[in-house]
Amino acid sequence: MDTARPAPDASTLARRRADFKALHASGCFILPNPWDAGSARYLQSLGFQALATTSSGHAWSQARADGDLPVGAVLAHLREMVAASDLPVNADFEDGFGDSPEAVRRHVAQAVDTGVAGLSIEDSTGDASAPLYPIDVAVARLRAARAAIDATGGDTLLVGRAENFFAGRPDLDDAIVRLRAYADAGADCLYAPGITTREQIAAVVAAVAPKPVNVLMGATSDLTLPDLAALGVRRVSVGGALARAAWGGFMRAAQALRAGRFDGFEGAAQGAQLNGLFRGA
């Protein structure tokens, strides 16, 4: 029997997208990154206001490396995640799955059709010798994404990502030039994953104001949510960190089991708790 939740209708999607945009207008919110329907549902139960997919977390669940899944698999995953909870979903849409603006436009249109409330486009190439698109090409790709969204009504939020710090080019000045260009090209929210210091974050926020900024956080920073809010950050995501935490627990338990021990299950969730969360959903 198929127990998948039905896809939300058009009015529900419109409401989610409006709610998602409103979250970016003031304050600072956490945008956690589930990797499957179950983790999405649990995050909803904790009271989060919106969710974001994680390309790495999803890829690992499919025994693939981050960035190795084809666009069709990612689109199917987005549909599953949109249906999994009642919250707006922001898609980690990687580089748009194509070098050319036309490919980005086509794939973004397909992503919007999945029902996501927002999506991000990266400017990394995957080529170690030239890890970032030239800025004019990157801007053309963002404009293509913007055009695809506008053709569907324009209510899906577009995030422009400068991947300098993830692509081995940790040049803050260049990242800021790129983010400003992406803002001018129609990005609603700006994101430079990998910036970590107060000074870097404050510089990015000031450079693209009044547009909202997303900051990626992990376990290596002493910054808190109030700290980030005071710096002017609008939203905070964690990328693959939750998936890595889950993998860490699984790997420790499995390694203990291989050694003939059963103490790796200490602290595991109770089956009754999980059944209660998902029963009738």
Catalytic residues: 66
Cβ neighbours for 231, distance < 8 A, ≥ 6 positions apart: 198, 201, 202, 205
Sign of CA dihedral 219, 223, 229, 231: negative
CA 88 to centroid of chain Cα atoms = 12
DSSP tag of 4: P
Residue 91: beta bridge partners?
A: 119
Residue 120: beta bridge partners?
A: 92, 159
Identify the helix (H) or strand (E) that includes residue 121: strand 118-121
DSSP tag of 86: S
d(CA 169, CA 135): 14
Q: What's the CA angle centered on 180, arms 175 and 182, to 5 degrees?
A: 95
d(CA 235, CA 32): 10
For 255, the token pair is 């390694």
Identify the helix (H) or strand (E) that includes residue 182: helix 172-184
The Cβ-side half-sphere exposure at 185, using a 13 Å CA radius, reads 27
Candidates 77, 147, 145; CA nearest to 114 is 77
d(CA 257, CA 254): 5
